[in-house]
Structure 1
Amino acid sequence: MDETQKIGNYRYRILALLMFATTINYFDRSIIGVMAPTLEKMFGWTNSDYANIMISFKVAYAVGMLSMGGLIDRLGTKKGYTLSIAIWSFFGMLHALVRPGFSVIGFAAARFGLGFGEAGNFPAAIKTTAEWFPKKDRAFATGLFNAATSIGAIAAPFVIGWIVHEDGKNWQVPFLITGALSALWVFLWFKMYKKPEVHPKVSKEELAYIQSDSETENEEKLPWKSVLDKRQTWAFGLAKVTDAVWWFYLFWGAKFLAETFDVNIKNIALPFFVIYILADGGSIFGGYLSGALMRKGWTVNKARKITLLICALIILPVSFVAVTESKWIAIILIGLGAAGHQAWSANIFTLVSDVFPRKATASVVGIGGMIGAVAGIVADKALGSVLDQAGNSGYFWAFLIAGSCYLIILGLVHLLMPKMTPLDENLNPVEN
């Protein structure tokens, strides 16, 4: 405690803002997944209609990841993050204006704008973490703000269950709530955020700690295309293919539980609470574990990859969700899969700042996010079509892939990036 007081801890106030923004982000994007069974009945959607609405979000997310990542690297974290949250809040509230006569196209348009704006959250948050935390603490810091995804996902069913009736009355209200929360966040962000090296509330000791294992970088901007020919970029992009699994839980989980176990809008809150509280624990533990292994003297390469292997093994049992007849066994297995994914996610995000200079992190995270979104688009299209043609048996294949893909992807990531050699400010390998 005395040592922490000597160093200072302003960086954790910045981390709290990242957690707040990510909570808003996931509350906003989770609303439609929680209300999906109700909205389908209200508006007469097929599984393919719902898949197309989800695809609209992910197409925009893919485009946004590419453009917002590079834009945040150029504008800087303060302005770039603000632009992102302003866009997604506007389009989030726009959902409330959709009317039955054009429900599919209306929701698809609102989801498109939401996806574009939300694409800026993780590039900005990862860049902020790289600016404010030394490498040995980044996975833990990332795990903490990444855990806020589950806070948002947990809050959504409780708020919706409290406000929205089973017949869909008041369905618009949850979409409007995030506008007020976003305005509060922007106020706090502008008041509190500056880079640590120029922040008046950061002590010399804290700044020295933040920069303790990072090289000083020049201010020259790197062109976005400069990261495209790096194997490390594509290793991260491959690891982000697993985003399709997370979105499957987020956007199709309530539908699966409703169609398989008759879970409705009034009793979805407890199952989602269990799933996402497990996910929170996984996110924090996964971020802590790799850092703890590094503090024991393990190399970054070994600590990150052994942690990722443990995550993949924790996720494996989710393959059996569709063959169990017990609602709560299914929920626990999905929760374990979500926990493993969040631990995985905390570590793969940190791979970027382990390897790339801070000024390239948002661009690389954006490229990886785009690849994850494309994987989600393919998964949505396939699942929607299979469910319409073959009924709920389509979930068997979805969960089988969700459980087994992480081990395969980890092997391919290791082949692309066997040593995790850091790159300097000019993207040249750093010689040890």
Structure 2
Amino acid sequence: MATVARLRWWIVGLVCAGTIINYIDRNALGVLAPHLTEELDLSTQQYSWVVAAFQVAYTLMQPICGAILDAVGLKSAFALFAVAWSIAGMGHAFAGGWMSLAALRGLLGASEAAAIPAGIKAIGEWFGPKDRSVAVGFFNAGTSLGAMIAPPLVIWLTLTWDWRTAFLVTGALGILWAFAWWRLYESPARHAALSDTERAQAPTASPGGAVVPFRALFRQRVFWALAIPRFLAEPAWQTFSFWIPLYLARERGLDLKGIALFAWMPFLAADLGGILGGYLSPFLMGRLKLGLLTSRAAGVALGAVLMIAPACVGLVHGPVAAIALFCVGGFAHQMISVLINTLTTDVFPRESLARANGLVGMMGWTGGLLFSLLVGALADRTGFGPLFGLLGAFDVLGALVLFALLRPMWRDRLSPATGS
């Protein structure tokens, strides 16, 4: 088989494509929320329970999916998870009320929980420390690309046919991707299209090659250094994904077409934040001579400061100003997300990377779940503005915790070779 130049970047593109499809499926519900609350006669509280069903399943399954990916192997396990989430997504077309919709969202969340741990594991297998944040940035762009594509695609399918067709079509995309993944993916050690030069550049297995048990991960200071900031950062992304369309309809007076016009913009900004966040770390290492971990943490701190913008959404007038602040928030959040995900590849062994990332992700989604339930309980009484105001404070606190527990400058001094 002929070799493919820069194959590892094609692998990132393949992972990114799967992530795009994953996020189209999960964001379809949020896009259709104003429509489905009328079609299925859902209250705001019932809609929050539907959202929570996805979040609970996704939260609990992230470390389990990670352990399965580590044990079974990335190629076969990721393909099976993609088929499972596609079937669950298509099943949304047959929902008749909030309980059946919640059950289907739970199945979707349980299977989609594999996506981020799988992507991070693939990057850990293919990329060394210097290039990881850039690779994670491009892979992570799939999350916001999928969320950006979802509003116009789902609304076009709904207006052209109906909402059930929208779920059927978007759900089926994952089956096509799973087939492509199964045919095209292999580890660097086994990929026939990888040149000898690039194979030699691929990371080697960690010394000893032992899998770190979950209990041992919980006892590590570095785990909490990443898990707590993720817990505090994730509410912003859950809010952007599940509540912005409903907010634009309820408090800014937009109809379905207006939502399609505006709701994708924060996710375009998020793409830019994720990609630039990936390049920020090597830039800081090269220009300011920061260590590897310090450069990641500095980027998280910058993103936290920028998150003050969406916290001010309740203070502005008109949907355009609100969307502009959400765009700054999308940019900032994805910068934070990329760098925290990259840090998991820096501090955990490759053999346990998917389970470690899944466990950190579980902590993040716990925060997102609790905040969504808070929004569902209070939004009708307080409005969305005060709730959005909490998001900026969460991320600033998360950055402070990251520096306090990770002690990146100290760790970089102890391990000067980490940036090599």
TM-score by structure 2 length? Answer: 0.93
Partners of 1:216 and 1:24 lie apart in 2 by 32
* C-alpha distance after superposition, 1:57-86 (max 9, x if no partner): 111011111211111111121122112212
Which residue in the other structure is 2:377 paired with?
A: 385
Which residue in the other structure is 2:57 paired with?
A: 60
Query: In 2, are the aligned partners of 1:37 and 1:255 still within 8 Å (CA)?
Result: yes
Q: Mean Cα displacement is larger for which, 123-132 or 187-196?
A: 187-196
TM-aligned CA distance change 1:180 to 1:364, over 3 Å: same
TM-aligned CA distance change 1:354 to 1:173, over 3 Å: same
Q: Pairwise mapping of residues 44-59 of structure 1 onto structure 2 (< 5 A)? A: 44-59=41-56
Q: Pairwise mapping of residues 227-238 of structure 1 onto structure 2 (< 5 A)? A: 227-238=217-228
Which residue in the other structure is 1:221 paired with?
A: 211
* C-alpha distance after superposition, 1:179-238 (max 9, x if no partner): 432222122212211111222211121123333xx6654444333333221111122111
Query: In 1, are the aligned partners of 2:54 and 2:105 still within 8 Å (CA)?
Result: yes
Which residue in the other structure is 1:73 paired with?
A: 70
In structure 2, the residue corresponding to 1:197 is in which secondary structure?
A: coil
Which residue in the other structure is 1:36 paired with?
A: 33
TM-aligned CA distance change 1:180 to 1:165, over 3 Å: closer
Partners of 1:230 and 1:210 lie apart in 2 by 27
Query: In 2, are the aligned partners of 1:140 and 1:284 still within 8 Å (CA)?
Result: yes
* C-alpha distance after superposition, 1:289-339 (max 9, x if no partner): 112222444201221111111111121111110121121111010010011
Which residue in the other structure is 1:261 paired with?
A: 252
For residue 142 of structure 1, the aligned residue among 100, 123, 136 is 136
In structure 2, the residue corresponding to 1:364 is in which secondary structure?
A: helix
The yes-or-no answer on 1:348 pairing with 2:340 is: yes
Which residue in the other structure is 2:401 paired with?
A: 412
The yes-or-no answer on 1:114 pairing with 2:108 is: yes
Question: What amino acid sits opposite 1:370 in the alignment?
Answer: M
Query: In 2, are the aligned partners of 1:355 and 1:421 still within 8 Å (CA)?
Result: no
Q: Mean Cα displacement is larger for which, 57-66 or 201-210?
A: 201-210
Question: What amino acid sits opposite 1:224 in the alignment?
Answer: F
For residue 190 of structure 1, the aligned residue among 182, 197, 201 is 182
Partners of 1:378 and 1:161 lie apart in 2 by 28
Query: In 1, are the aligned partners of 2:31 and 2:155 still within 8 Å (CA)?
Result: no
Partners of 2:258 and 2:148 lie apart in 1 by 13
Question: What amino acid sits opposite 1:270 in the alignment?
Answer: L
Partners of 1:245 and 1:87 lie apart in 2 by 27
Which residue in the other structure is 1:3 paired with?
A: none
Partners of 1:145 and 1:343 lie apart in 2 by 13
Question: What amino acid sits opposite 1:129 in the alignment?
Answer: I
Q: Mean Cα displacement is larger for which, 398-407 or 171-180?
A: 171-180
For residue 176 of structure 1, the aligned residue among 168, 171, 187 is 168
The yes-or-no answer on 1:270 pairing with 2:258 is: no
Partners of 1:35 and 1:421 lie apart in 2 by 48
Partners of 1:137 and 1:265 lie apart in 2 by 41
For residue 330 of structure 1, the aligned residue among 322, 340, 353 is 322
* C-alpha distance after superposition, 1:23-71 (max 9, x if no partner): 0110000001011011111122111111111111111011111211111
Q: Pairwise mapping of residues 89-104 of structure 1 onto structure 2 (< 5 A)? A: 89-99=86-96, 103-104=97-98
In structure 2, the residue corresponding to 1:201 is in which secondary structure?
A: coil
For residue 401 of structure 1, the aligned residue among 390, 406, 410 is 390
TM-aligned CA distance change 1:421 to 1:178, over 3 Å: farther
Which residue in the other structure is 1:426 paired with?
A: none
Partners of 1:159 and 1:208 lie apart in 2 by 42
For residue 14 of structure 2, the aligned residue among 14, 17, 23 is 17
Partners of 2:13 and 2:321 lie apart in 1 by 34
5+ long unaligned stretches in structure 2: none
* C-alpha distance after superposition, 1:403-432 (max 9, x if no partner): 221111111121111137889xxxxx9797
* C-alpha distance after superposition, 1:103-149 (max 9, x if no partner): 11011000000000111000010000010111111111111111111
For residue 208 of structure 1, the aligned residue among 200, 203, 224 is 200
TM-aligned CA distance change 1:173 to 1:421, over 3 Å: farther
CA RMSD of aligned residues (A): 2.1
The yes-or-no answer on 1:312 pairing with 2:309 is: no
Partners of 2:69 and 2:190 lie apart in 1 by 19
